[in-house]
């Protein structure tokens, strides 16, 4: 049986809902949907580019805690509330992944958990064995 490592962000919702920021089993790391929230503050209000950059920095920290880095990311999933922001979001995504080039999806959704949130991102990373 493979060891399971749960990585917590310390958010109160992790206990209430029952989830982890990231989970590593073997060489696979899944990072939960991540938003531009820091404590009680939404970072980058009204700015999809800034929200995306902040989210990716949070994801990078979770990956590091799991023993990985952004180069290990093989998939990103972006849930956006307004698909017309795709260029700003794509530009921020490209700042992190232009040479890594994971597979990705960008999907427009009706809403996220707070109306100020413009994007939520999940990633999958696989460590080389």
Q: Tell me: the pLDDT tens digits for 90-121?
A: 999 999 999 999 999 999 999 999 999 999 99
What is the percentage of the chain residues whose pLDDT exceeds 90?
81
* Domain definitions of the chain by residue range: 4-126
Distances (CA, A) of 116 to 42, 92, 96: 7, 18, 23
The mean pLDDT of the chain is: 94
CB-based contact 103:36 (threshold 8 Å):
no
Q: Which CATH code for domain 4-126?
A: 3.30.1330.40
Burial class (CB in 10 A: 0-12, 13-18, 19+), 84: exposed
* Cα 80 → chain centroid: 12
Tokens of 4: 């399971």
Sort strands 103-108 and 73-80 into parallel, antiparallel or unpaired. parallel
């Amino acid at each position: 049986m493979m060891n399971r490592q749960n990585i917590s962000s310390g958010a109160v919702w992790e206990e209430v809902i029952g989830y982890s920021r990231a989970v590593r089993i073997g060489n696979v790391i899944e990072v939960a949907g991540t938003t531009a929230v820091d404590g009680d503050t939404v970072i980058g209000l009204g700015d999809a580019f800034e929200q995306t950059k902040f989210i990716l920095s949070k994801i990078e920290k979770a990956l590091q805690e799991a023993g990985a880095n952004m180069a290990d990311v093989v998939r990103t999933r972006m849930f956006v509330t307004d698909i017309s922001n795709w260029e700003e979001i794509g530009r921020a995504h490209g700042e992190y992944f232009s040479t890594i080039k994971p597979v990705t999806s960008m999907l427009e959704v009706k809403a996220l958990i707070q109306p100020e949130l413009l994007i939520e991102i999940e990633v999958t990373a696989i460590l080389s064995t």
